[in-house]
Amino acid sequence: MASNTVRVRFAPSPTGYLHAGGARTALFNFLFARHHGGSFILRIEDTDRTRYEPDALADIMDSLRWLGILWDEGPEVGGPYGPYFQSERLHLYKHYAEELVRMGAAYRCYCSPERLEAMRQEQAARGEPPGYDRHCRYLTAKQIADYEAQGIVPVIRLMSPLEGETSFHDVIRGTITVDNRTLDDMVLLKSDGYPTYHLANVVDDHLMEITHIMRADEWIPSTPRHQILYKTLGWTPPIYAHLPVILDPSGKGKMSKRKKRTPDGREFPVLIREFRAAGYLPEAMFNFLALVGWSYDDKTEILTPEQIIARFDLPAVNAAPAAFSYDKLDWMNGVYIRALPAADLACRIQPVLAQAGRDVDLPTLERIVPLIQERIKTLNDAVEMTDFFFADPQGYDPRLLIGKKMTPEATLEALRRALDVLQTADFTEAGLEESLRAAAESLGMKPGDFFTPVRVAVTGKTVSPPLFGTLAILGRDRVLRRLGYALRLLSQANPTTSN
């Protein structure tokens, strides 16, 4: 039964941090594996030594784990098909490259980078499509001996068929066919002894018994060449599913590692670590990413990982590229935040506040959380929304104290009355509400008009969490102090009305 077991892999190159597109690819592979009770493998394609970034691997693994995309085989977890780093499998690629040369399906190429560059320039000048001119494909034994004598280290190139066509089936797109004449002889083994993606990928997918390849659709053009490799090596190719690219929010151009900005200059997170730092929940990211290019039906959008796994299916993947909607992500993150138990949310917000230099004990935070839970879209929103719990608001515009339908005089009166009433009020939510409503009524003011100056005095802003709960948490001392400050501020701003 082993041969029927689904085995899929996510094969990132450690040349950069994990971004949303890569995470989505990893997620789809993970979902597919879980759906079929198969294995999800993480393989590190570290064959590009010039672009290698030491921090990338740790970031990729951290990001995947944060999202809950756990691999069954790969770095740190091991597995029977290792090693899972291509840099540790060099001998394998070399072996198969040489094998292909022996079979007459590949050849050594001694062309210098300069020659290749010059060739491309000429092709461009003549308006011809670029591509290797197969100079070394037809070398004589003597020419080869000469190159070798000069000590030139060759690359190994695949001998692509000169005519006919190659096609393959894609689960999402159907059959894709290309004319072999449009294929050039790609490099399989570089002169530094490392394989290119094409060789390493095919060799490893075969050796690791990968059954399905889900990867970004930018790989479609090279898939025919991979087919040729499988065919000449006598291997059975896996089943392909090329995933649509993720476009940036404008819908023009793929969302890359490059930073994108909103029209007003706000920077969009692109890397998973950036989403994390911006206060998005991994559960929300998981749900959202699953819906980029896939959907279950025409209604359901909030789904648990279990539901997504149970329902995920390749034919339902949309072939068209999708723009990444930050608006929708924000909404979904809010949905997940609201669904969290308050204690859980408090635990998640605490480190965010700490990061902003605000230390709160958990019991206090657990009292604050219900006040802001349905008002924040990201964990980071809590920082600004709770700032007045940590410092007395100062230096705000005293005009904010004056409500829309209020005069400076009436505002001063309201503040004085509030100050008076709150000296003795019961500082519980219910007690405060009762006292303040009664105070408003005694002044003949509408509750809203009366509450506004209190709100501003206590929080420094016109928009805040519910007033009574806020006052209760702040406590009598701080509230009275802030009311006193507001009173002085407003009196100074309106000297004629002060007494």
Both tokens assigned to 218: 């930018």
Cβ closer to RNA: 238 or 465?
465
Round to whole Å and give the CA distance between 81 and 310: 27
In this structure, are residues 40 and 251 in contact, taking their beta carbons and an 8 Å threshold?
Answer: no
User: Does 279 interact with RNA (rule: CB under 7 A)?
Assistant: no
Alpha-carbon span 386 to 370, nearest angstrom:
12
Residue in 159, 171, 178, 233 binding RNA, rule: CB under 7 A:
178
* Residues 284 to 303 in contact with RNA, rule: CB under 7 A: 291-293, 295, 297-299, 301
| Contact pattern from residue 144 through residue 163 relative to RNA, giving x for each residue in contact according to CB under 7 A and a dash for the rest | -----------x--------
Shortest separation between residue 175's beta carbon and RNA, angstroms: 8
Burial 208-222 (b: 16+ CB within 10 A, else e): bebbbbbbbbebbee
Shortest spacing between CB 231 and RNA, in angstroms: 19
Residues 328-387 that bind RNA (CB under 7 A): 328, 330-331, 334-335, 338, 374-375
Contact window for RNA (CB under 7 A) among 137-145, 275-283, 359-367, 467-475 = 467-475
Among 463, 495, 496, 499, binds RNA (CB under 7 A): 463
Choice from 180, 222, 491, 497 touching RNA (CB under 7 A):
222
In this chain, which stretch among 40-48, 97-105, 263-271, 477-485 interacts with RNA, using CB under 7 A? 40-48
Name which of 311 and 478 has its Cβ closer to RNA.
311
CA distance 243 to 321: 8
What span, in angstroms and rounded, lies between the C-alpha atoms of 6 and 211?
Answer: 6
Q: Assess 197 for contact with RNA (CB under 7 A).
A: yes
CA 76 to CA 233: how far, in whole Å?
Answer: 31
396 makes contact with RNA (CB under 7 A): no
Alpha-carbon Rg for the chain, nearest whole angstrom, is 32
The catalytic residue among 231, 257, 260, 446 is 257
Task: Choose which of 62, 72, 98, 217 interacts with RNA (CB under 7 A).
Answer: 217
Positions in 245-274 near RNA (CB under 7 A): 245, 247, 251-254
Q: Examine residue 176 and tell whether it contacts RNA (CB under 7 A).
A: yes
Report if residue 426 touches RNA, rule: CB under 7 A: no
**Binder among 139, 144, 303, 323 for RNA (CB under 7 A):** 323
Q: Give whichever of 116 and 493 is closer to RNA, judged by the CB atom.
A: 116
With CB under 7 A as the rule, give the number of residues binding RNA: 90
Residue 151: name the closest of 188, 123, 191, 117 by CA: 191
CA 198 to chain centre: 26
Q: Which of 37, 54, 104, 129 binds RNA (CB under 7 A)?
A: 129
- What residues numbered 301-320 form the site for RNA, per CB under 7 A? 301, 315-316, 318-320
The yes-or-no answer on residue 257 being catalytic is yes
Q: Which is nearer to RNA, 337 or 412 (CB)?
A: 337
When asked if residue 191 is in the footprint of RNA (CB under 7 A), the reply is yes
Contact 286, 64 (CB under 8 A): no
Applying the rule CB under 7 A, the residues between 435 and 454 that interact with RNA are 447-448, 451-452
Closest CA to 263 of 326, 321, 322: 326
**Which CB, 15 or 491, lies closer to RNA?**
15
- Which one of 10-18, 69-77, 91-99, 359-367 is the stretch in contact with RNA (CB under 7 A)? 10-18
Which of 76, 163, 306, 327 touches RNA by CB under 7 A?
Answer: 327
Query: What residues are annotated to the active site?
Result: 257
